[in-house]
C-alpha cells in the first residue's frame, strides 16, 4: 500500500523535511518493515525533486532505518528485537536517574499533559500518542537539572519512537500507560525519589517486554492447527 505523505512546501532545508516526513511514516507504520521506497515515488508524493529525496534516504540508511534493496530503491529496515532491548535498557536507566532528580526538586508535571495523553490514547491516534509520550518524558529530563540526560536519550529517540509506534498500533494497554505516567508524575511531585525511580524503571521494563512479545509474535506466529475436525 502506498503511504500517504504530506506534500512539502519549498524550503532551503528540503533534505531535513523529506527525512522527517519519511521517518514519521516509518515510525507510525504507514511505511512498514520491508516496504520498498523509491526516489521517484517519494519525490512525486512530496512534490520535490529527486535530489533531496536521495540525500534523505542516505541519512535514513546511515541511521539504520532503511537498507539497500535488490534492484531499485531501498527497503524499510526490520525492527531488531535484540538491539532495541539494549536501547530500552539504556533508556530505562536514564529515565530512572531523571525521575529521581526531578523528584528531588518536587517538579510538578502539568495535569493537562496527562489529559492530553489519555485523549490521544482514546482516539487511537498513534502520532499524537507518541508526541504526548515524548513530551512527558522530555519534561522529566528537563526538570532533572542535568542536560546530559536529555542529550543521551535523544541519541536513540527515533528508534524508540519507531518501536513505540509498532506497539501502540496493536496494544490494548494504551490508556493504562497513562495510568503509569500519572503515578510517576505524582511520585515526582511529592518528592518521593525512590518511588518515582522504581515506577519509571518498571514502566520502561514493561514497554520493553511488550515490544519483545509483539515482535516475537510477528516473527514467529503460532502455526495454524492441522488437526482434522471431529
pLDDT (tens digit, 9 = 90+) per residue, 170-227? 766 778 899 999 999 999 999 999 999 999 999 999 888 888 887 776 554 444 433 3
Percent with pLDDT over 90 in the chain: 59
What pLDDT sits at residue 81?
A: 85
Please, what is the Cα angle at 218 between 213 and 222, to 5 degrees? 90
Taking residues 4-28, report their average pLDDT. 79
Taking residues 42-51, report their average pLDDT. 92
Domain range annotation of the chain: 14-76, 81-213
Distance, CA of 72 to CA of 39 (rounded, Å): 9
Three-state DSSP at 37 gives strand
Residue of higher predicted confidence among 225 and 89:
89
> What residues have CB less than 8 Å from 127, skipping those under 6 apart?
24, 28
Percent with pLDDT over 70 in the chain: 87
**Residue 23 in contact with residue 61, Cβ under 8 Å?**
no
Distance, CA of 16 to CA of 20 (rounded, Å): 6
Average pLDDT, the chain: 87
For the domain covering 14-76, report its CATH number. Answer: 1.10.10.10
Q: How confident is the model at residue 167 (pLDDT cuts 50, 70, 90)?
A: confident
What pLDDT sits at residue 77?
A: 93
pLDDT (tens digit, 9 = 90+) per residue, 110-129? 999 999 999 999 998 888 99
CATH architecture of 81-213: Up-down Bundle (1.20)
Amino acid at each position: 500500500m502506498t503511504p500517504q505523505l504530506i506534500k512539502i512546501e519549498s524550503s532551503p532545508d528540503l533534505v531535513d523535511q523529506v527525512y522527517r516526513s519519511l521517518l514519521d511514516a516509518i515510525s507510525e507504520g504507514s511505511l512498514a518493515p520491508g516496504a520498498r521506497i523509491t526516489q521517484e515515488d517519494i519525490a512525486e508524493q512530496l512534490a520535490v525533486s529527486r535530489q533531496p529525496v536521495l540525500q534523505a534516504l542516505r541519512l535514513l540508511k546511515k541511521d539504520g532505518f532503511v537498507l539497500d534493496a535488490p534492484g531499485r530503491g531501498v527497503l524499510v529496515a526490520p525492527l531488531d528485537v535484540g538491539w532495541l532491548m539494549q536501547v530500552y535498557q539504556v533508556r530505562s536507566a536514564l529515565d530512572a536517574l531523571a525521575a529521581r532528580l526531578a523528584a528531588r526538586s518536587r517538579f510538578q508535571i502539568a495535569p493537562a499533559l496527562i489529559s492530553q495523553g489519555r485523549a490521544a490514547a482514546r482516539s487511537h491516534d498513534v502520532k499524537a500518542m507518541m508526541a504526548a509520550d515524548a513530551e512527558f518524558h522530555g519534561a522529566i529530563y528537563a526538570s532533572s537539572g542535568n542536560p546530559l540526560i536529555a542529550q543521551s536519550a535523544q541519541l536513540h529517540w527515533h528508534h524508540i519512537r519507531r518501536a513505540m509506534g509498532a506497539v501502540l498500533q496493536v496494544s490494548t494497554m494504551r490508556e493504562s500507560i497513562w495510568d503509569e505516567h500519572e503515578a510517576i508524575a505524582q511520585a515526582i511531585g511529592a518528592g518521593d525519589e525512590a518511588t518515582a525511580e522504581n515506577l519509571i524503571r518498571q514502566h520502561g521494563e514493561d514497554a520493553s517486554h511488550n515490544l519483545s512479545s509483539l515482535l516475537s509474535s510477528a516473527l514467529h506466529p503460532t502455526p495454524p492447527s492441522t488437526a482434522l475436525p471431529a
